[in-house]
C-alpha cells in the first residue's frame, strides 16, 4: 500500500511561500515578528499597549490572524495603527500563502516594525514559518507554569517569551512558579529572552519595548 505523507507535503508547500515572503520584508529592512500564544493570553492587549506606548518612537503595523471576525483588528484600529485582518475560516494557524499579500496592504515603507498576531493556539502555528524575522511566544500565568515543558515547540523556536498577566499572582488570583517556567524554557532555548509583563498594569513592559527598539535599530538600514 502506498503511503502519502500529507504533513510533509503541506509543510513543503508552506515553506515555499515562506521563502518567497521573506525577501519582501528583508529587502525593505522591515522586522516582522510572529506572535504565538494560546487563546486569551492577552496578545491583542499587549499589541494595543505596545503601539500606544511606542507612539513617536516606533511606527508599528499589525497583521491579525483569527479563525473568524475582525474583533482584534477593530481593537488595533482604535490605536490608529495600520492593521489588516486575515480570517482562516476554521484553520488553527496562519500559513505562508495567506500572508503573502498582507504586508503589501500595509504602508510598509512608513513602518519600523510589523507585529503579527497568529491564531490563538500555542501548538500548530509554531510549525508554520510565514517568512517572519522571528517568533515571539506569549504565555499568560493563568495557563500554568508547566506549559513550556508540555508544549516545547514554540518556546524552543522563539526569540522572546512574554510572560503576561503577572498582576494576577501578585494579587493572589493564580499560582505560578516563574522560576520553574524560566528553567524549563531556558533548557529548551538558552538564548530566549524572558520578559515578565502585565499588559493590564504596564509592569515590566519597558524591558519589552527596549528589546523591540534595539531589534528595530539593528535591523534598520545603516547610514
Ligand atoms: N489581569 C490581566 N488581564 C489581562 C492582561 N492582559 C490581557 N488581559 C485580559 O485577558 C483577556 C484576553 O485578552 P486578549 O488581549 O483578548 O487576548 P488574546 O490573546 O488577544 O485573545 P485571542 O486573540 O482571542 O486569542 C481580556 O479580558 C484582557 O483584558 C494582563 O496583563 N492582566
Ligand atoms: Mg487577540
Is-above-0.85 flag for pTM? yes
Beta strands in 106-206 (DSSP E): 113-117, 134-140, 160-164, 193-196
Tell whether the torsion through CA atoms of 222, 23, 207 and 66 is positive or negative: positive
Q: Which domains does the chain have, with CATH numbers?
A: 6-217 (3.40.50.300)
47's grid cell: 499589541
Longest dimension (CA), the chain: 62
Distance 168 CA to ligand 2 centre (A): 19
22's grid cell: 521573506
Distance 76 CA to ligand 2 centre (A): 10
Residue of minimum CA distance from atom 12 in ligand 1? 40
Q: Average pLDDT, stretch 156-170?
A: 97
Q: Average pLDDT, stretch 146-175?
A: 96
Q: How far is Cα 223 from Cα 221, in angstroms, rounded to an integer?
A: 6
pLDDT for 20 equals 87
Q: How far is Cα 132 from Cα 104, in angstroms, rounded to an integer?
A: 14
pLDDT for 2 equals 67
pLDDT value at 209 more than 80: yes
- What letter does residue 52 receive in the DSSP assignment? H
pLDDT value at 6 more than 60: no
Q: Which of 36, 45, 46 has the most ligand 1 atoms within 8 A of CB, as the residue to mutate?
A: 45
Q: Are strands 193-196 and 134-140 parallel, antiparallel or unpaired?
A: unpaired
- What letter does residue 221 receive in the DSSP assignment? P
For 37-47, the pLDDT digits (tens) are 999 999 999 99
Q: How far is Cα 54 from Cα 83, in angstroms, rounded to an integer?
A: 16
Instruction: Tell which atom from ligand 1 comes closest to the C-alpha of 120.
Output: 25
Amino acid at each position: 500500500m502506498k503511503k502519502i505523507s500529507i504533513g510533509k507535503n503541506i509543510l513543503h508547500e508552506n515553506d515555499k511561500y515562506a521563502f518567497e515572503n521573506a525577501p519582501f520584508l528583508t529587502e525593505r529592512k522591515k522586522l516582522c515578528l510572529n506572535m504565538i500564544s494560546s487563546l486569551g493570553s492577552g496578545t491583542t492587549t499587549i499589541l494595543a499597549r505596545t503601539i500606544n506606548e511606542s507612539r513617536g518612537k516606533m511606527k508599528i503595523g499589525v497583521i491579525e490572524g483569527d479563525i473568524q471576525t475582525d474583533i482584534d483588528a477593530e481593537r488595533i484600529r482604535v490605536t490608529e495603527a495600520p492593521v489588516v485582518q486575515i480570517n482562516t475560516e476554521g484553520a488553527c494557524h496562519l500559513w505562508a500563502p495567506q500572508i503573502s499579500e498582507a504586508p503589501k496592504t500595509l504602508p510598509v515603507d512608513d513602518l519600523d516594525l510589523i507585529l503579527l498576531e497568529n491564531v490563538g493556539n500555542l501548538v500548530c502555528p509554531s510549525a508554520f514559518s510565514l517568512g517572519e524575522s522571528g517568533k515571539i511566544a506569549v504565555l499568560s500565568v493563568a495557563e500554568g507554569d508547566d506549559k513550556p515543558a508540555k508544549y516545547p515547540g514554540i518556546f524552543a523556536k522563539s526569540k522572546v517569551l512574554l510572560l503576561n498577566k503577572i498582576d494576577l499572582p501578585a494579587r493572589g488570583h493564580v499560582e505560578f512558579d516563574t522560576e520553574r517556567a524560566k528553567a524549563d524554557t531556558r533548557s529548551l532555548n538558552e538564548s530566549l529572552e524572558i520578559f515578565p509583563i502585565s499588559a493590564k498594569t504596564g509592569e515590566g513592559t519597558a524591558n519589552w519595548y527596549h528589546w523591540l527598539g534595539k531589534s528595530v535599530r539593528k535591523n534598520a538600514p545603516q547610514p
